[in-house]
Amino acid sequence: MKLYKFGGASVKDANGIKNVLDVLQKVGHENVLVIISAMGKTTNALEVVIKNYFEKSNELQESIQEVKKYHLQIIMELFEDDKNPVFKAVNQHFEDMDYFLSHNKSPNYNFVYDQIVSYGELISTTIVSHYFNTCGLKNNWLDVRNFIKTDTTYRDATVDWDQTLELISKNVKRKTLNITQGFLGADPNNFTTTLGREGSDYTAAIFAYCLNAESVTIWKDVPGVLNADPRYFENAILLNQISYREAIELAFYGATVIHPKTLQPLQRKEIPLFVKSFLNPLLPGTSVSKGADLVPQTPCFIVKKNQLLISLSSIDFSFIMEEHISEIFRLFHEYQIKVSLIQNSAISFSVCVEDKFNHFNELKSLLSKRFQISWHENVSLFTIRHFNENAIKIVETDKTVLVKQILGDTIQIVTKE
């Protein structure tokens, strides 16, 4: 079986969905499992719904209507028959969402987040599945929550591999086309969980591992894995082949083409990963596979924007010891703050972090009781794999360098504009 993953950009409108159908007709769709994300910026729109639910109840219905309007427009463009069952199926998802919002008793933001944001994937796959059926491409729509089981860490759930392996290996039909959702799972009480933002790639890897898949292909709006994000760097170069190890390194440092969790399950079973363009599906793209010699011959640039650079020092100028560092990292873990770079000296400790859940203000008050603390907001963290002097110059030009650190053939630079 082959696994294909299509992200939100590929299904952002009716023409995008028609193009996904065209891609499958060109590359083959028998014995294929397709994983699809929410359409376009639907996840962002549902985050507004959640925010209004907690903070601006008078604007809640308006934000829900925006999501409905967006999807209804796509449906109207795809289906000529207004009696098509897709209308009833999608409307049922919205009714289920309304029911949850009117009956929920939990004040847990992360729990509510996962229950609501999941409708983006459920609705997108429902529309795509019905459209394919209408066009004669028969398929099985699967609710991924019946297959991927997790713990109760909402918004960043951990997979129960034993249970998930059993469910997928026994219940996914082969020799046909299956369609399911990325990003989602279910906890022991069958409440929806999510696998972390951009977790649809990881979903593909989970299914691939459990099905002993032939390959996984991630379909993007870029020709493959590039040596730099073209939004920030000119003349980005396509990497034709890279090893699992190199891809893991790039993902670890923040490359966004492949989700960081995606590669480990594939590497364990040596399942090849392809990154290809849904605009030019017959081009070879990038292949990720086993091979120590598959190392890029050019510097690879990774940038993380909107980071925090935090510097801590002891109040009495004593050494920063292991127990201090242990306590700091315990707090980072507790407050869900991801550390991307560490630099320490005898009496100071600096970290560049990502505060995606906006917990730093709470953490700051705790840290300031034990340490002198200073910080820079909205810094950029550049990582250059296989760097050279020219690559460093490209990053540092017209910027203030706050931290620079070299480890082997990788350099990390924290800058402020």
pLDDT level of residue 30 (50, 70, 90 thresholds): very high
| Pairwise CA distance, residues 335 & 327, whole Å | 12
| Pairwise CA distance, residues 182 & 125, whole Å | 9
Q: Does 146 have pLDDT greater than 80?
A: yes
Q: Residue 8: what residue type?
A: G
As separate numbers, helices (DSSP H) first and strands (DSSP E) second, the chain gives 13, 16
The class that CATH gives domain 300-416 is: alpha beta
The residues of the chain that CATH labels 3.30.2130.10 are 300-416
The residues of the chain that CATH labels 3.40.1160.10 are 2-213
Residue with tokens 């000119």: 234
User: Considering the entire predicted model, what is its pTM?
Assistant: 0.85
Pairing of strands 177-181, 140-141: parallel
CATH 3.10.350.10 fits 2-213, yes or no: no
Which positions ≥6 away from 241 have C-beta within 8 Å? 286, 287, 288, 289, 291, 294
pLDDT level of residue 252 (50, 70, 90 thresholds): confident
Binding residues: 5-8, 43, 121, 231
| Pairwise CA distance, residues 308 & 363, whole Å | 13
Residue 397 has what DSSP assignment? Answer: T
| Pairwise CA distance, residues 193 & 185, whole Å | 5
Q: Residue 95: what residue type?
A: E
- The pLDDT tens digits of the residues spanning 51-104 come to 999 999 999 999 999 999 999 999 999 999 989 999 999 999 999 999 999 999
Binding residues for ATP: 5-8, 231
H or E segment at 52? helix 42-55
pLDDT level of residue 165 (50, 70, 90 thresholds): very high
H or E segment at 361? helix 360-367
Are the beta carbons of 159 and 148 closer than 8 angstroms? yes
Per the DSSP assignment, residues forming a β-bridge with 216 are 3, 273
Give me 329's structure tokens.
Answer: 């990292």
Pairing of strands 338-344, 273-277: unpaired
Residue 395 DSSP SS3:
helix
Q: Does 265 have pLDDT greater than 80?
A: yes
Give me 232's structure tokens.
Answer: 């920030």
pLDDT level of residue 417 (50, 70, 90 thresholds): confident
| Pairwise CA distance, residues 227 & 222, whole Å | 12
Question: Using alpha carbons only, what angle is made at residue 261 by residues 166 and 308, rounded to the nearest 5 degrees?
Answer: 145
Q: Residue 280: what residue type?
A: N
Binding residues for substrate: 43, 121
- Burial (CB < 10 A; 0-12, 13-18, 19+), residue 375, is middle
